[in-house]
Amino acid sequence: MATKNGKRMGRAKRAKESRGTSSPQISHILHKRQLEDVVNSILYDRMPQVTGKDGRNALAIVMALYKSCKSGKPEKVDAI
């Protein structure tokens, strides 16, 4: 259980302390850069560094991870 100043914190308190991220050290900067890249790709008629296919692939991995956690077994990543 996480502690703050040596005191135990419940799950809700930890969630509030982390401000919605899994770690308080995670910054919004990388999301900001990715969104700026998408906007610039539209403005300058070029492909973004991270494509929609990249996003779908990442989502397929996360969905397989959730499925594996629920089933307790390894799960295959759905083909995209």
pLDDT at 56: 93
Same domain, 33 and 58: no
Which residues of the chain form beta strands (DSSP E)? 3-4, 7-8
Which pLDDT score is estimated for 12? 56
Average pLDDT of the segment spanning 64-75: 94
Domain tally for the chain?
A: 2
Q: What is the pLDDT, as a whole number, of residue 1?
A: 46
16 and 43 both lie in a single domain: yes
Residues 31 and 19 in one domain: yes
Domain annotation covers residue 35: yes
Instruction: Kindly state whether residue 20 falls inside one of the protein's structural domains.
Output: yes
The H-or-E segment that residue 38 falls in is: helix 29-43
Residues 43 and 69 in one domain: no
**Cα–Cα distance, 69 to 24 (Å, whole number):** 24
**Residue 29 and residue 41 in one domain:** yes
User: Stretch 49-72: mean pLDDT, rounded?
Assistant: 94
* Residue 74 structural domain: 50-80
Q: In whole angstroms, what is the distance from residue 12 CA to residue 18 CA? A: 10
Segment 13-55, tens digit of pLDDT: 555 554 555 666 677 888 899 999 999 999 999 999 999 999 9
